[in-house]
Structure 1
């Protein structure tokens, strides 16, 4: 095991010339660098954040969002639904309404709600988007405020999302262990700048505030294009590819990190094309309608709806940021 660890963390691959792991493990007095052991704090903290999310969705916003819940369970109607028919005709509706002393329309509404029970309700989607909005806003605000305290250089279909996850998690983990957390935090700050705006647009859409939804969609699109197509390549990539070359020179992991950063930029271009195409459709139709929203959210957040990987990816970043108070000093200045 020791031999495998020594091979994987080979200094000639991960570090610039004339830099060793000992330099990072034993820095000058008053200076602390990130350590690989810090990443293990993600495990207990992830459980804590998951518990906060459950409380947040079920008890905080559930009681205040003002969106109707599902119909209450009814033993008689449930038996009819499971053993007789899921879509009763007028004869069944009249019989059930007399048996329950309900209006026929109320019985019909119950069956409609029951048929949709396995689908995510607007209430459920609203609470989930509210959590994502709050979470993304918190990690972006925290990261931005933290980065202001240090001097900086002037310097997301399945396959696409899977590639994005591999690149992002690899960058987060290895850049932190390798003490390149400053540029790593800048990359994630740029990415998080637009996510909470998209969730805010979804919230407005679920709450039927169409004009607010349209406005937030426009703001999201503008911020997305500026951060992913301007700030990221012009400042971040310029620093990691050219300025770092002049300061520390290339080394094996330098090529790996910049390759992953370029992969992200290719994905940015693909997503920007999808968003621009949807924005054009929206302008031609005069509003960002329900179908347009569905297309956007499916294209950009496809994997977020199907799995929790992106959510935990950002949770992992948030935990890493919390765990380091002096780790944002990269190997190049």
Structure 2
């Protein structure tokens, strides 16, 4: 199997393909059987499976079992009332009332889109939310309205230390940006500010893979290559001290500005299923025609994206790509042929469903699937 520290790579895995409609029904039914309202269950299922369809399995259906652990422990408010607590024509502070992160962030992103369409731009902050999944899913909602979207979030466990230290005070604090184009694919950047996400470590551990020595260090500052050992180590920031600085800025804007948890206040939702996480998020949406006509902007964006994608590659067999340029084809392939799920994850999901009398759909293809993996996230 091929693993890359950055960028994307198509890897051969033992995963098999499952049809999206069947998985969506499965997730909704399992959540509903645990007391989650039908509308919320549908939103959570949609956002999770969008991540799988986009090639972000670490934030897809594999998250269902830990989410249910939190539901059963009473860590979510299943009757959450998402509400606006502060508002202006170009801003809002949203309180998630400890509801599902996917539900809260869908509300916040759609609110930002409406405000930006009316006022030209909008910044929406979120507090009292929970893990919301892949950030690119929310930034990309701006594209449906020909808007630019920028998303930041506090991760739900501290896996990184400040630069020069070994105290786990920082999370993966992801950043996602979506920029529309015309005929070329939009630019959709979705990345953690750590070299990889904690979810990628979990996948590596499940697959028995070693990891590069630039991903994780132990509490003494020495590099780690065993993913099982890495689960107890510290993730490294992208770009050294620069990644640390970016991580800190996102934490201040998505957490501190909103009155959400950051630093030592962060709750590790992997081990604490009861305490409200007070997760913070922020999303900014901007109308390009504040600066030039939408048509001119899209035409210029196309020129620049085409210039990059058609530039001379190091390896002729691996053309230069732009962030997210394979999203449309990957999503279409997922809709047509299904999404890949690892055997260990499928077994966990099947057992979870069986406990509630709900059957996991059979795979549509029993042959190993190619998994298109992107760079690290939260």
TM-score (norm 2): 0.23
Greater share of helix: 1
Bigger strand share:
2
Q: Find the structure with the greater CA-based Rg.
A: 1
